[in-house]
Structure 1
Amino acid sequence: MSDIKLNWKRNFGIIWAGQFMSLISSSLVNFAIIIWLSLETGSAEVLAYAAIAALLPQSIIGLFSGVFVDRWDRRKTMIFSDGFIACCTLIIALLFHYGNASLWLIYTLLAFRSAGSAFHMPAMQAAVPMLAPKSELLRVAGINQIIQSVSNIAGPALGALAIGFMDIAYVMYIDIIGAVFAIASLLLVKIPHPKQEKQTSTGSRQLFADMQLGLKAITSNKGISLLFLFSVLATICIMPIAVLFPLMTLEHYNGEAFHMSIVEASWGVGMLIGGGVLGVLKLKTNKVTLINYTYLLMGLAFAISGLLPAWAFWIFVLLTTLSGIAGSLYNACFTTIIQQNIDPLLLGRVFAMFFSISLLPSLIGLLGTGFLADTIGINVTFIILGTTIILIGVCSFLSKEMLPLGNQSELDDSPA
């Protein structure tokens, strides 16, 4: 049993402390930018372009970034990614400070930040099974959900508070401070790197060969292929709903900004509860079965939200909390299944490919979300997309090839 395995709780404690500071500062700054753009332009189109700039590069680069994540030292990859993102944030802050923050420059730097994230996210997910015993991966994923949930709850509130008390330029510096904490925490730990196979070629030929290995890891196992397929289809439905939550609150439930913040917080609270359950308890339920139930729960919550009358706002809040719990359980179970069933040498590219494959069609769907909601109504859109997610869950239940993935033996406590 290696020293790294014996000290895995200490190592994760250090990493989580740094990542928490980074996540909450990024959440704060992201929300502050949304507020600033809203106040300065009052344009939904501007917000849509900013969202696309922040997501599209990450989804495109993710198709091949995982290859490099698997080749490079994962700790150094996270450090350099955090540093690059911090440098982009510093440039944005300086542009704000000197009054030169044109929209196209903001879009460009948001895109560069997104490119850095394309390397950080898969590196972090691929590093987890190199540190933690297999039997603890689900709990680790649950604690990660707790950290993300607290960031999602506190970040927007702190962002609104910060932009009310200081100039947007100084708000941006908070994200840089968070990145410094994240980098410092990574410098204090060691992350093993799986032994690499000798490469027979170089350049673009090797790059595509490595990408094909990642794709083969997904397609060669019918259970994993189906798991990916259903997850991508569900994400395509969930992304538009996530964008429509504020408008659903304002238009269907006749709410105000205060009610929007309640709905936003209720989703975060739900994810916090789900992550807490996984972080404290060692659930014995088949993880694929749990995922299937989360599809049904989320779909029902969204569909019922669209059917409720305007006076039922607090029921909508409760349903949003339940969907947050389902989302937290789904994310943790999906991540754990991949970490347990994919060769550590391929984890970086598999996670990166999944993110890209699920996000690219979702972004296309986002472009038509406004038209769909304006044409048939926001509540009807919730009903249609929620019902579709329920059908995905039913099909997933009927696909027995995935069940063995959720029964993966966790008796081996060596790092995955």
Structure 2
Amino acid sequence: MVDRPVPAARWIAIWLAQLVSLIGSSLTGFVLGVWVYQRTGSVTQFSMIFLAATLPAVLVAPFAGALADRRDRRRLMLASDTLAAVGTAALAALVAADALAVWHIYLATALSAAASTVHQVAYQAMTPALVGKRHLGRFNGLMQVSRAVQIAAPLVAGVLVVTIGIGGVMAVDLVTFVVAAGTLLLVRLPAGVTRPAGSGPAEPVLRGAADGWRHLRERPGLLQLMVVFGGYNFLFGIAGVLVQPLILSFATADTLGVLMFAGGAGLFAGSLVMGAWGGPPRRIAAVCGGLAAGGAALVLHAAAPSAWLIGVVAPLFLFTLPIVNSSTMTLIQTKTEPSVLGRVLATARVVGDASVPLAYVLAGPLADGIFEPLLRPDGPLADSVGAVIGTGEGRGIALVFAVTGTLMVLLAATAWARPVLRGVDDLPDAIPAAPAAPAPDPQPSDVDGAVPTNR
């Protein structure tokens, strides 16, 4: 760790530059998805983009963690940004040549996901040394602003596509890469931030990739926290895939856009609250409380086919997302030694995110093949559950939300009932508190009356 905290202006500059880059990437991701759907008319081919964006991240994460603990983290971030920018530039060239194909987008998306994983693991691994223990919870809250940006991206991207086209959006994305990389190069950071002094000698990446798993197994509280987080991501993934079909079952596309914006506003508000507050002293309480409140909000999605209802409960649900995410991340960062933090973060990412592709794969078949038939006007549950939440198009999806929300509440209760997990805050902190500013050395005149000398 560094001896003195990095000035706030420096890490705020890095955060802002990374946020700008993420905005550019989100714009590109949205317009490419629209291009695929418009060209193919296939929901399956469209959903393959989500798979290409998540599966490589899970596969690459263990190696990213090993690299983050053995290499300069700033250089890793720069290298991954460069790789992602090359993929975007290649797509822009194909658009300009009118030669873009769907498989090009899948390949570029997978490449960008792999590069982004290396970038994020390196970024999160150097965050504790960058901001210090005092500001860690607040910084992780601000990091959640990126989720709100991704939800708001369609509103901006739609305007840009009309005005400057897909190629222009990609050009904007490339400019944001330059902003992020330039800021990383220009901001002065101590060596202890970019590469911990205790990182030790280099070792084979394959061997290092397993160290994060061993470290978590030795700390059951953290491992159980990651399992809970994986369950949370699975349930969140199902809701994320089905929320748009749920809304479109009773509302227009224009209403969908308004409600998506409202949800993003809730997420943005939660990020700002966590950025200002940082979370409670016992962060596991924030994790479990956020899970329970989010689950209750998901259940309320099913109450009635009402845009006004979704306009209230969707922002409420997404408000809890930064609380759960930032509190979980802060626990991992504060309870893990800096020398292995990259590998532990990577393993946590695998455990926590491996369920997301499964959620994407299962959500559609669950809704279309099982739950929607149950709540048709003549379905098996029409006279029971249907009497409460209604029958017809979209009400089976609503039942999925009710079940998902109930499972999320039960997950929170189960997590809180486990003493090892409930006591994870009591594990020794691996991050020392920021040292106080050193007192000035006594001058010789203060001691013996001699004339002060310059040092």
TM superposition score normalised by structure 2: 0.84
CA offsets, 1:112-170, max 9 Å, x none? 11111120010111110011121211011112223x14523542211111111222122
Structure 2 residue 272 is matched with structure 1 residue 294: no
> How many Å separate the matches in 2 of 1:35 and 1:142?
30
For structure 2, list consecutive stretches of 5 or more residues without a partner in the other structure: 372-395, 437-455
> How many Å separate the matches in 2 of 1:170 and 1:4?
43
- Structure 1 residues 281, 54: CA separation in 2 closer, same or farther (over 3 Å shift)? closer
Structure 2 residue 172 is matched with structure 1 residue 174: yes
> How many Å separate the matches in 2 of 1:6 and 1:41?
50
Structure 2 residue 320 is matched with structure 1 residue 326: yes
After TM superposition, give the deviation of residue 64 of structure 1 in Å: 2.2
2:5 partner SS = helix
Task: Answer whether contact 1:303 1:385 (CA < 8 A) is retained.
Answer: yes
Give 1:397's aligned residue: 416
- Structure 1 residues 411, 53: CA separation in 2 closer, same or farther (over 3 Å shift)? closer
- Structure 1 residues 87, 392: CA separation in 2 closer, same or farther (over 3 Å shift)? same
Structure 2 residue 233 is matched with structure 1 residue 212: no
> How many Å separate the matches in 1 of 2:354 and 2:277?
35
Give 1:314's aligned residue: 308
Give 2:234's aligned residue: 236
Task: Answer whether contact 2:280 2:286 (CA < 8 A) is retained.
Answer: no
**Which deviates the most, 39-48 or 74-83?**
39-48
Give 1:108's aligned residue: 107
- Structure 1 residues 218, 105: CA separation in 2 closer, same or farther (over 3 Å shift)? same
Task: Answer whether contact 1:37 1:46 (CA < 8 A) is retained.
Answer: yes
> How many Å separate the matches in 1 of 2:126 and 2:111?
23
Structure 2 residue 379 is matched with structure 1 residue 385: no
Corresponding letter in the other structure for 2:262: S
1:374 corresponds, among 344, 368, 371, to: 368
Task: Answer whether contact 2:233 2:355 (CA < 8 A) is retained.
Answer: no
For structure 1, list consecutive stretches of 5 or more residues without a partner in the other structure: none
Corresponding letter in the other structure for 2:304: P
Give 1:278's aligned residue: 274
Give 2:121's aligned residue: 122
TM superposition score normalised by structure 1: 0.92
> How many Å separate the matches in 1 of 2:81 and 2:63?
19
After TM superposition, give the deviation of residue 399 of structure 1 in Å: 1.3
1:5 partner SS = coil
> How many Å separate the matches in 2 of 1:40 and 1:163?
15
Task: Answer whether contact 1:135 1:411 (CA < 8 A) is retained.
Answer: no
Structure 2 residue 346 is matched with structure 1 residue 344: no
> How many Å separate the matches in 2 of 1:280 and 1:361?
31
After TM superposition, give the deviation of residue 379 of structure 1 in Å: 1.1
- Structure 1 residues 130, 217: CA separation in 2 closer, same or farther (over 3 Å shift)? same
Stretches (4+) displaced over 6 A: 408-411
Give 1:335's aligned residue: 329
Q: Give the structure with higher Rg (CA).
A: 2
Task: Answer whether contact 1:269 1:321 (CA < 8 A) is retained.
Answer: yes
Structure 2 residue 299 is matched with structure 1 residue 303: yes
Give 2:440's aligned residue: none
2:144 partner SS = helix
When the two structures are aligned, how many residues end up with a matched partner?
405
CA offsets, 1:312-348, max 9 Å, x none? 2212121111111110111110111111001112221
**Which deviates the most, 212-221 or 174-183?**
212-221
CA offsets, 1:252-278, max 9 Å, x none? xx1122222223222221222112122
CA offsets, 1:23-55, max 9 Å, x none? 111111111112222222221011111111122
1:362 corresponds, among 342, 356, 361, to: 356
Alignment of 1:178-193 (within 5 A): 178-189=176-187, 190=189, 191-193=193-195
2:347 corresponds, among 337, 341, 353, to: 353
Corresponding letter in the other structure for 1:246: Q
Structure 2 residue 25 is matched with structure 1 residue 26: yes
Corresponding letter in the other structure for 1:181: V
Corresponding letter in the other structure for 2:420: E
Corresponding letter in the other structure for 2:109: L
Task: Answer whether contact 1:215 1:350 (CA < 8 A) is retained.
Answer: yes
CA RMSD, 1 decimal: 2.1
- Structure 1 residues 22, 55: CA separation in 2 closer, same or farther (over 3 Å shift)? same
> How many Å separate the matches in 2 of 1:41 and 1:327?
33
After TM superposition, give the deviation of residue 411 of structure 1 in Å: 7.5
After TM superposition, give the deviation of residue 367 of structure 1 in Å: 1.3
Structure with the higher helix share, 1 or 2: 1
Give 1:262's aligned residue: 258
1:99 partner SS = coil
- Structure 1 residues 126, 37: CA separation in 2 closer, same or farther (over 3 Å shift)? same
After TM superposition, give the deviation of residue 213 of structure 1 in Å: 1.8
Task: Answer whether contact 1:302 1:383 (CA < 8 A) is retained.
Answer: yes
> How many Å separate the matches in 2 of 1:396 and 1:170?
47
Percent of pairs with identical residues: 25
Task: Answer whether contact 2:23 2:153 (CA < 8 A) is retained.
Answer: yes
- Structure 1 residues 198, 329: CA separation in 2 closer, same or farther (over 3 Å shift)? closer
- Structure 1 residues 154, 304: CA separation in 2 closer, same or farther (over 3 Å shift)? closer
> How many Å separate the matches in 2 of 1:197 and 1:17?
28
Give 2:197's aligned residue: 195
**Which deviates the most, 187-196 or 128-137?**
187-196
